[in-house]
Chains A and B, each alone.
Chain A
């Protein structure tokens, strides 16, 4: 039984390592492990070690995902990288994350879910967003809608660290079903209230002991001295879950529509 289990795990790991396409869940799991163990030397951007740059797929010796997986587990003794306690499966998720760091150029696909979503129709999705979904009462798309929630005009725009393809679709779907669960940093809402009573909500870009830096809901860059603020901090999402409000098909339609929102082209 053990032998069988182990061989299944090994097979799965091998399959994961070889498929070269990863699910959003793999990448997110890998990102967490990367941050917990790899980032302290390689840096958050993956370019801290001379001759290695994950965002540019530049490695010293690794040629394949299998090489990367082995190095993550065994280290590079002569190069100063210690071995890790990661399993082959865990290492595979880190490889998934490393591969995702190169940005939208890497094709992503495949899904590990038992019931993949039905294919969506973007036009039907737009009707839901503008109609029964009531999304525009808070969100804004191409200049239309509210401003209390993140502007979705470019929610699917490519960029460094911004997933595309299936990873993006899964992330969007998750955001609709569980709005407050693990909101990616770029979608976390941060609110400051100034001493003179102004409230500014936006994305937290940076902070330190004395200051915070935001991109506000009008895409303006703003820096505040904490001493000028009455309050500041992350806010949990006021957005309701659409799990019981939309059917699986409607959900897929909305996701399909959101995935077309890539910024200027939609105007």
Chain B
């Protein structure tokens, strides 16, 4: 009898314990209603990177104080600490580059467990061994790896639940994005646009790791859009996926930005628009079927990856309530689309742009520049006017906040001999040069301020009009977080973590962390205390108000 009571107690306890840690799909749907937690890469399916926490205000933000730091093992080359942590009920989960999962106490920074996936030496990445974070469902964490695998881990123990091969690393496929969980599926896609991959977005069963659907970002024979690729260029057309998408549960559509066509800087071998590269695609979340697409940069030869986070906003457009998608693209234009139909509503430059001088009514840009044998000077440059860095939308101000590069142009030169393809090797064309020294990370900055700058700028989402801009002496590789107390948290390559007034851009607080800001900041609360976390250089820095 006692034994029986004990076993019942054990069942009750384990059930209760299990329930406590379970992140159900319903919780993901209503993530904004539990702002103490940060349950997805961008904080919610709408990807506003906006929190309704208000303990830290414009008046007290100057009292922020460092609470703890999580350090990574030493980084080499272009490796960066780009992961946005998740926080679930006081436990933080993040990824140290390249693929080490860490579970830690979100109050003290003390580690509960770590799990290290050692990537195969076949892994190849163009731009650093990076990982942008995890997804969670139930008691499982999901991580993509740079050797093309997708792993499920127990959130309690770090134990591997399943581990599947998504794509071949030796052909240049790598997973660097944080996965997106919708219902019972885990959605990912591969990086590798510099290696001539053929990109895709694929959904995996969260329980088993079995592939459920796959959408080819480079359509094959018989698939719509295939006609936009000359010859067999589609077999190595790029179309990488390396930033997490968004989801509209009412429409049951998931939205993803697609990367560059391959080879990057010479499109002669791929005549046509090269769908769905440099596009946003809207897919049925259950089947992966394409509902609509919009291509930002047809037949791109400037490496303008459209791998930005799709920001979903419901607001009046020209007097009528509308489901919109807001998008500041690497190509220098700010876009407003109808996310139900894909209809193009507006495009405006938010930085210096000279490659296009306008749009037709369907939103096709009028391209006026291409790489030439002599070289063409193009703005924005190869790094773009922005990049994968998370933007933010604040429903309070109605402003859209963009991490921006105001930089010199790139000179794009085309070798008329074309670009040879060898599986697993770089397939790019000639590397663009810059007429002035590139803004490379370096210990000291002796450039003239007029040569180049970084900025956080705020656009009025209704009009695309710039409301304010906070300029920095160096460029920005970090994202933007806004809060309901009208704060903007961001920072640039100089290593200042900044708090700005979301209404006018006034700087309210700064902290020098000694390394470039490298992720999108996030915020959470434990025990009624609000924290703000940012990854920079070799560490994750966590702040709260002085007590």
Contacts and interface: CB of A to CB of B under 8 A. Distances in A.
A4 interface: no
A165 interface: no
User: 7 closest pairs, A vs B, by CB?
Assistant: A35-B437, A77-B425, A85-B413, A44-B442, A206-B444, A85-B430, A39-B440
B433 A37 contact: yes
Interface string A17-41: 0000000000000001101110111
A83 B424 contact: no
Nearest to A35: B437
Nearest to B430: A85
Given A41-B78, A84-B431, A77 B426 contact: yes
A205 B442 CA distance: 12
Interface in B393-447: 413, 415, 422, 424-426, 428-438, 440-446
B431 A82 contact: yes
A9 B145 CA distance: 48
Interface in A157-180: none
B438 A36 contact: yes
Given A50-B76, A80-B124, A36 B437 contact: yes
Contacts of A78: 424-426
A206 B446 contact: yes
B431 A210 contact: no
Interface stretch (B60-68, B234-242, B309-317, B469-477): B469-477
Contact of B126 (A80, A84, A209): A80
A210 B510 contact: yes
Contacts of A206: 443-446
B404 to A, nearest CB: 14
B496 A208 contact: yes
A210 B496 CA distance: 10
Interface of B: 76-78, 124-126, 194, 375, 413, 415, 422, 424-426, 428-438, 440-446, 448, 471-474, 492, 494, 496, 510
A45 B77 CA distance: 12
Which of B76, B126, B444, B472: most chain A Cβ within 10 A?
B444
Interface string A35-57: 11101110111001110000000
A205 B496 contact: no
Given A40-B438, A80-B124, A85 B77 contact: no
B446 A207 contact: yes
A78 B122 CA distance: 11
Nearest to B441: A43
Contacts of A35: 434, 436-438, 440
Nearest to A73: B430
A54 B474 CA distance: 25
A81 B426 contact: yes
Contacts of B436: 35-36
A205 B413 CA distance: 34
Contacts of A265: none
A85 B471 contact: no
Given A33-B433, A39-B438, A39-B440, A185 B446 contact: yes
A43 B439 CA distance: 10
A36 B510 contact: no
A82 B426 contact: yes
A37 B431 CA distance: 7
Given A82-B428, A210-B496, A45 B442 contact: yes
Contact of B426 (A36, A80, A84): A80
B474 A208 contact: yes
A75 B443 CA distance: 26
A31 B368 CA distance: 32
B123 to A, nearest CB: 11
A141 interface: no
A204 interface: yes
Given A82-B426, A207-B473, A39 B446 contact: no
Contacts of B494: 208-209
